[in-house]
């Protein structure tokens, strides 16, 4: 691996951690990107919908909570 | 908290909320990022590009990104850590903090999968966030501490950098400050004054200021972008 960082491995994933003096170039950032977008959509809290409804009112037809939250 | 920090956080969150529900790729953030770097970013994972975009467009680029564009979450978290602005877990977390997630709960920066911005701190270490690239959309979420690696506290004292554009429909302290500046340079807001809402009256005042500053053609748009801001700063010094 390039730079002075460290690669962590686990559960099939690898993430390159830049070293203390290293700021990754855009090409390096692009190379290390991993898309976990589908996983991030999963609710981690069973009451997520209730909490968001309390804070922002009913979602729109696409399920998006757009209220200003007072 | 200093007023300046409160204003910076409000502006940052306002830009994160802008476009809630935006879905798919390319999108506002990835197009902006790709223009600055490489077309490969158009279809890339965009959660951190959205944070960088909001920081840049709210005048918080230096505070949140330290002068670097981030698409790779691990690099962004490392940047906070290098500057002593990283906290593991959720103790002390508050709105405006940049929050990093690991779906496997490993707790190390190397395990980070995703990023968002805290909109509200809830009880029990839970947070309500705004996140890009959640099911390929910009959404509000509620997150458990079990998937939170930690958070970066932006250096609000360094608020600045990037380019703020204010336009019709915007609201908040930055709009109020713009309106106060317009009044100081002799523009009129007869009905609503400096109410913090960028409505038709503010559009007219910005256009009048642009005209008085010699703007012509497409620059006479009633939008307070970098060029208008520069002219306003110059007028305020007279």
pLDDT band of residue A13 (cuts 50, 70, 90) is: low
| Distance from the Cα of residue A21 to its chain's centroid | 24
Q: What is the mean pLDDT of residues B51-79?
A: 95
- DSSP annotation string for B114-171: EEEEEEEE-GGG-EEEEEEEETTEEEEEEE-GGGEEEEE---GGG---S---B-TT-B
Q: Check: pTM over 0.80? Answer yes or no.
A: no
pLDDT digits (tens, 9 = 90+) for B201-234: 999 999 999 999 999 999 999 999 878 988 988 8
Look at residue B175 in the predicted model and tell me its pLDDT.
Answer: 83
Q: How far is B51 from chain A (nearest CA, A)?
A: 15
> How far is residue A19's CA from residue B22's CA, in Å, rounded to a whole number?
34
| Distance from the Cα of residue B89 to its chain's centroid | 23
Task: Determine contact, residues B45/B62, Cβ cutoff 8 Å.
Answer: no
pLDDT band of residue A11 (cuts 50, 70, 90) is: very low
Q: Does B125 touch chain A (CB under 8 A)?
A: no
Look at residue B176 in the predicted model and tell me its pLDDT.
Answer: 84
pLDDT band of residue A9 (cuts 50, 70, 90) is: very low
B-chain CB neighbours of A45 within 8 Å are 126, 142-144
ipTM over 0.90: no
Instruction: Tell me which chain A residue has its CA closest to the CA of residue B110.
Output: A15
Q: How far is B134 from chain A (nearest CA, A)?
A: 5
Interface of B with A in 150-209 (CB under 8 A): none
């Amino acid at each position: 691996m390039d730079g002075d960082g460290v690669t962590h491995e686990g559960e099939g994933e690898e993430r390159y951690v830049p070293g203390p003096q290293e700021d990754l170039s855009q090409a390096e950032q692009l190379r290390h990107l991993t898309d976990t977008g589908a996983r991030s959509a999963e609710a981690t809290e069973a009451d997520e919908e209730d909490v968001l409804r309390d804070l922002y009112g009913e979602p729109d037809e696409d399920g998006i909570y757009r209220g200003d939250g007072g | 908290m200093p007023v300046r920090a409160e204003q910076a956080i409000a502006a940052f969150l306002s830009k994160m909320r802008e476009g809630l529900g935006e879905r798919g790729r390319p999108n506002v953030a990835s197009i902006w990022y790709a223009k600055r770097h490489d077309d490969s970013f158009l279809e890339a994972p965009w959660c951190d590009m959205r944070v960088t975009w909001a920081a840049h467009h709210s005048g918080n680029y230096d505070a949140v990104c330290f002068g670097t564009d981030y698409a790779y979450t691990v690099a962004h978290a490392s940047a906070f850590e290098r500057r002593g602005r990283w906290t593991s877990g959720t103790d002390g977390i508050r709105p405006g903090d940049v929050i990093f997630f690991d779906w496997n709960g490993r707790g190390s920066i190397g395990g980070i999968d995703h990023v968002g911005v805290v909109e509200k701190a809830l009880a029990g270490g839970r947070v309500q966030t705004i996140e890009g690239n959640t099911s390929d959309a910009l959404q509000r979420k509620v997150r458990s501490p079990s998937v939170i690696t930690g958070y970066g506290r932006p250096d609000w004292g360094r608020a600045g950098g990037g380019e703020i554009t204010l336009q019709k429909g915007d609201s908040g302290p930055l709009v109020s400050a713009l309106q106060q500046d317009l009044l100081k340079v002799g523009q009129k807001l007869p009905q609503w004054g400096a109410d913090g809402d960028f409505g038709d009256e503010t559009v007219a005042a910005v256009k009048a200021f642009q005209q008085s500053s010699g703007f012509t053609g497409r620059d006479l748009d009633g939008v307070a972008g970098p060029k208008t801001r520069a002219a306003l700063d110059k007028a305020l010094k007279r």
